Structure 1
Amino acid sequence: MVTQRTSLAGLSGFLTAALVATTWPSLSHGDEPCNELDECRVLIEINASDGDIGFHVLFDAEGWRKARIVGPDGKQIFSEHARKALKDQRLTENFFESAEPLCEPELAEDPDDRVVTLPEFLARFPEGFYEFRLTIQNEGVIAGTTLLSHFIPAAPADAEFDGTDITWAYGDDLGECVTQPDGFVLAGEADIVAYEVVLTPDDDELSPFSYTVRVPASVNSVAVPSSYLASLPADAPLKVEVGAIERRPNGSFGNQTFTEEDGFCNNPDQDLCPGEEE
């Protein structure tokens, strides 16, 4: 897709407005509290449109300098240490994502593309309790556990943007990730706790200024604030992401599956932005 470019000099006015209008995403709503930690969460995220899969982690506690994560099999899968000035300053919240390899061999376009199918990924990250062990001041250790399930929601279907509203429907598959283990069952519509909705300019200079919101699972339409759309250039190309989020047994947020659709335009009166081709 060829996108319309806007000079940096002309960005200052509407980028300021975009910052005000934008809600930034955050990986929250895990276990709160997480035993002795303030919060913790592990999850599987699938991009059903691009066909990739990753492992996400969040944990939060006041004033730690060492962290370890131990999987359900008792083996350590992650560790980190704060050093020098950061060791003295101490740490609080930490969030990271794994690499996101492709989930099907057929999606690889380059010999160097990594492929990890869903069955391989689930074997690599077994379901069960993941324990966080944090070293705090005076070498004390605090711990917390959170649950990873293999209950993954289907990718939202029919994501659309009509110039004012983003709409979607409950889906029934994982998009490009078609290879699934024997006995695998998708999370049902009643097992979704929320949807995360993102509208992003499909332009390198403007892409940081996205609009993101989470809504309850009963909602399948979001009105994009007019102030946000007005902050973008007329006819700016846009893309939409909608993610279904699993409801874990304790009501917190779990695994998530996203659908992406592009080719939308910040102009409800035309189907294509200037410079785009059919």
Structure 2
Amino acid sequence: METQTGAAKMKWPNRQKSHNRKFTALSIALAAVVAASAAPVAWAGPEIPFSEAQIFFELNDTDGDLGIHSSIDGEPWQMLEIEDPSERVILDVMPSGRLAKQGMTQLFFESAEPSFDELPPAEFFKRFPAGRYEISGITLEGDEMESTAVLSHVLPAPPGNVRVSGIAAAINCDAALPAVRKPVVISWSAVTASHPTIGKAGPLQVSRYQVFAELRTAPFHKFSLDLPPNVTRFTVPAELADRARDLKFEIQVRGVNGNQTAIESCFTIR
């Protein structure tokens, strides 16, 4: 960051020569101080890593849309920046006023997720190339923070063979919905491969499944559950199933690389 200083021309009243000499000496001293403050100061200490620094993609395989997400956490900071693998800045955050004085610690964002008709996956991935993204910041004390997040174009395949109490799940919530009795059990086949058509093919290891279930009508109660990669079924809680006739659910597959693929469907309770 460059700092420019300038001196405005001012007319001083006639004074004794001794006063002029004192003023000249003071001006020289002040100029030296300004010059010293304008010079860049090299930070000699180690850079502080963020406690969390993730950048990843989320695919809604049912609706056909993609978004880029990030989750960052660490020491209180007054400035944060993200650079892509070509060192182009894609995010620059600098709080102001009282929030700048207080400092920020956590930041989560998700981009807009236009449909594939508006933004095909190939064009989306060109905007956000795979590689190392540098996340840097400045703490409230002026220390430097830096971590690296690796963004991959390998996305999990969507879960297949999704069934609701043994009945094949609907392809989406606008299709004919299966009608089931309580208790409701949702199951699927384990995901072991990358997405067959979107992103880049490559090794894929699942870190977890995340399941969401919610009422389709008010008051829109919602339930969520994290499952380990070896568990591929769950029972919808009775307190949720007893509240309405129609329910919506989502199964989200998260890879070890952070990328997520989700499917959505609905069912009716008889």
Match of 1:195 in 2: 209
Match of 1:143 in 2: 146
TM-score, length of structure 2 as denominator length:
0.70
The structural deviation recorded for 1:63 is 1.1
Match of 2:77 in 1: 64
The structural deviation recorded for 1:132 is 0.9
Match of 2:231 in 1: 219
Whether the aligned pair in 2 keeps the contact of 1:157 and 1:259 (CA below 8 Å) is no
Q: Among residues 48, 62, 67, which one is paired with 1:49 in the alignment?
A: 62
Whether the aligned pair in 1 keeps the contact of 2:194 and 2:203 (CA below 8 Å) is no
Match of 1:275 in 2: none
Whether the aligned pair in 1 keeps the contact of 2:215 and 2:240 (CA below 8 Å) is no
Structure 1 distance, partners of 2:211, 2:163, is: 11
* 1:79 maps onto 2:92 in alignment: yes
Residue deviations 1:185-232, cap 9 Å, x none? 1654xx2221111111112x333x3111111211110123334444xx
Match of 1:261 in 2: 265
* 1:169 maps onto 2:181 in alignment: no
The structural deviation recorded for 1:35 is 6.5
Whether the aligned pair in 1 keeps the contact of 2:253 and 2:260 (CA below 8 Å) is yes
Describe the shift of the 1:92–1:198 C-alpha distance in structure 2 as closer, same or farther (beyond 3 A): same
Structure 2 distance, partners of 1:219, 1:100, is: 29
The structural deviation recorded for 1:128 is 0.9
Structure 1 distance, partners of 2:259, 2:66, is: 11
Structure 1 distance, partners of 2:219, 2:79, is: 37
Structure 2 distance, partners of 1:122, 1:41, is: 17
Structure 2 distance, partners of 1:43, 1:219, is: 23
Structure 1 distance, partners of 2:128, 2:86, is: 10
Unpaired segments ≥5 residues, structure 1: 1-33, 106-114, 249-253, 271-278
Question: RMSD between aligned alpha carbons?
Answer: 2.3
The structural deviation recorded for 1:234 is 4.0
Residue deviations 1:49-70, cap 9 Å, x none? 0000000001001211211001
Residue deviations 1:134-180, cap 9 Å, x none? 111132221111111111111112333334322122467859xx5x5
Question: What amino acid maps onto 2:99 in structure 1?
Answer: L
Q: Among residues 233, 240, 243, which one is paired with 2:252 in the alignment?
A: 243
Question: What amino acid maps onto 1:44 in structure 2?
Answer: F
* 1:153 maps onto 2:165 in alignment: no
What percent of counterpart residues are identical?
A: 28
Structure 2 distance, partners of 1:134, 1:200, is: 38
Q: Which has the larger radius of gyration?
A: 2
Structure 2 distance, partners of 1:158, 1:200, is: 21
Residue correspondences, number: 206
Question: What amino acid maps onto 1:169 in structure 2?
Answer: S
* 1:131 maps onto 2:108 in alignment: no
Structure 1 distance, partners of 2:162, 2:100, is: 45
Describe the shift of the 1:199–1:173 C-alpha distance in structure 2 as closer, same or farther (beyond 3 A): same
TM-score, length of structure 1 as denominator length:
0.68
* 1:185 maps onto 2:201 in alignment: yes
- SS for the counterpart of 1:100 is coil
Structure 2 distance, partners of 1:187, 1:49, is: 23
Whether the aligned pair in 1 keeps the contact of 2:215 and 2:244 (CA below 8 Å) is no
Residue deviations 1:81-113, cap 9 Å, x none? 11112112211111010000112x3xxxxxxxx
- SS for the counterpart of 1:99 is coil
Whether the aligned pair in 2 keeps the contact of 1:57 and 1:97 (CA below 8 Å) is yes
Structure 2 distance, partners of 1:63, 1:45, is: 28
Structure 1 distance, partners of 2:256, 2:195, is: 17
Match of 2:32 in 1: none
